[in-house]
Structure 1
Amino acid sequence: MTVENPTGPLGGHLDDDDYPAYTMGRAAEMLGTTQGFLRAIGEARLITPLRSEGGHRRYSRYQLRIAARARELVDQGTPIEAACRIIILEDQLEEAQRINAEYRRAAESADTTAAT
């Protein structure tokens, strides 16, 4: 069943990974970390939380997954700045691999078309 005009406090954002649904306190609680940790990874520009009308930080599920990865690295002894850089590089590598795979598919498709 598809809902065209969802109602309620989230207004259809329940499946939106980028919707800033979590306050800083709730995000820290969910991650089992401190609000200071979230501030630190924000200062390192790993994630940039959106701000509510009152100026409070709000985090999305996607941002919480990134923060969880940072916490995992920090818990293993990686300095927070290095953990943030590692995650950024991992993300860049994943994007480069995705683009490379697209180019390969396009090249294979062009080869197949040219051969017929």
Structure 2
Amino acid sequence: MSERTRNRAVYVISVAAELAGMHPQTLRIYERRGLVSPARTEGGNRRYSDDDIELLRRIAELTNEGMNLEGIRRVMRLEDENARLRAELEQAREIALHAIREAEKRPAPTSGGADLVPLKQAVAVFGQRPSIFDRD
């Protein structure tokens, strides 16, 4: 299924509830608590996407494990941050691999010494992103 199709809000609340295996009132509660944000039609009716259904199933899974709604909110926030950090790490790996490949393409130095590599130093304060990671 394409990303565009997964994000397309097409299901009315009764169908979404059935697909997620819960009561429509439960979906309303989750919306009030900020766990899910369905799209709205011009008339104000809720419309759920396949991504919303997947999220509702994840909420049901965590609820069945005994977690309360605030705990679920925190877990989901951490899962989102984890996914973002994994994507950032993958991007950093790709940049490093590209830099290695580019360095390997360059001819070896003739002076007998190793390649000079520019060094950028910075003071890093705990809890803040060091400027050394900022692109110039």
In the superposition, the TM-score normalised over structure 1's length comes to 0.79
User: Do the aligned partners of 1:46 and 1:88 also contact (CA within 8 Å) in 2?
Assistant: no
- Mapping of 1:80-99 within 5 angstroms? 80-99=69-88
Q: Confirm or deny that 1:67 pairs with 2:56.
A: yes
Quote the Cα distance in structure 1 between the aligned partners of 2:73 and 2:33: 7
1:79 is matched by which residue type in structure 2?
N
User: Do the aligned partners of 1:22 and 1:59 also contact (CA within 8 Å) in 2?
Assistant: yes
Q: Secondary structure at 1:22's aligned position in 2? A: coil
Residue number among 79, 103, 107 corresponding to 2:68 in the alignment = 79
Question: Which has the greater radius of gyration?
Answer: 2
Quote the Cα distance in structure 2 between the aligned partners of 1:100 and 1:44: 32
Residue number among 43, 46, 53 corresponding to 2:35 in the alignment = 46
Give the superposition deviation at 1:57. 0.8
In the superposition, the TM-score normalised over structure 2's length comes to 0.69
Superposition RMSD on alpha carbons, in Å?
A: 1.7
Q: Secondary structure at 2:28's aligned position in 1? A: helix
Deviations 1:35-67 (A, max 9, x none): 232123222323211111221111000111011
Give the superposition deviation at 1:87. 1.5
Give the superposition deviation at 1:91. 1.7
Q: Which runs of 5+ in 2 are unaligned?
A: 106-136
Q: Which runs of 5+ in 1 are unaligned?
A: 1-12
1:84 is matched by which residue type in structure 2?
R
Deviations 1:82-108 (A, max 9, x none): 112212211220121011111111111
User: Do the aligned partners of 2:20 and 2:54 also contact (CA within 8 Å) in 1?
Assistant: no
Q: How many residues align?
A: 103
1:66 is matched by which residue type in structure 2?
L
Give the superposition deviation at 1:111. 1.7
